[in-house]
Amino acid sequence: MIRSDGRHPDELRPVSIETGYLLYAEGSARIKTGNTAVICAVTVEDGVPQFVRGTGSGWITAEYGMLPRSTLTRTGRERTRTGGRTSEIQRLIGRSLRSVCQLDLLGERTFTVDCDVIQADGGTRTAAITGAYVALAQAIHKLVEKGSLPSFPLRCAVAATSAGVIEGAPVLDLNYEEDAAAEVDFNVVMTEEGELVEVQGT
């Protein structure tokens, strides 16, 4: 199968990650996968949600959004209620990060990872997961270096990509054009140790 961008069926798009992308965030990264680009920023705050309070453990949560012109035509901002797709992606990012972190080593702190898509060409949620991990690791490294955390609580790295079937052929890391034409589309989240964290399929 010949793909529109010339890649082999099992070939990822070029990936680049720039760390420390934002001046004020405790940790930040801009990730590019092909033409998709996401900025991820971590905020660390004392205190945890009510359901974690008093346990001594920390919490990691995520927010996700798309700039209006990150897409081919303008997509309006979500000004009030978060849409179903956005909520689903936010939960997925949070679960993926928590799966590789020993939350009890964070103390009662909340790590909020904001993932903002600045250009969308397929795979925005998988790029956000990978970029979010890098930004989170940077923020945690800083806390360990300052002595605010006793040890490094991330047990391994986590990353994500997509896989699908187009015209009966399996392909890896779908761009927008391929995603729109796919008969099957999966998002796969894995650790560097080869553990499956989550698989979403349509």
Inter-residue contact 103 to 57 (CB < 8 Å): yes
Please give the pLDDT value at position 63: 97
Inter-residue contact 201 to 185 (CB < 8 Å): yes
Domains of the chain listed by start with CATH number: 15-155 (3.30.230.70)
Model confidence at 80: pLDDT above 80: no
Please give the pLDDT value at position 82: 75
Segment 162-188 shows an average pLDDT of 96
Model pLDDT for residues 90-132, shown as the tens digit of each residue: 999 999 999 999 999 999 999 999 999 999 999 999 999 999 9
Query: Parallel, antiparallel, or unpaired for β 36-46 and 15-19?
Result: unpaired
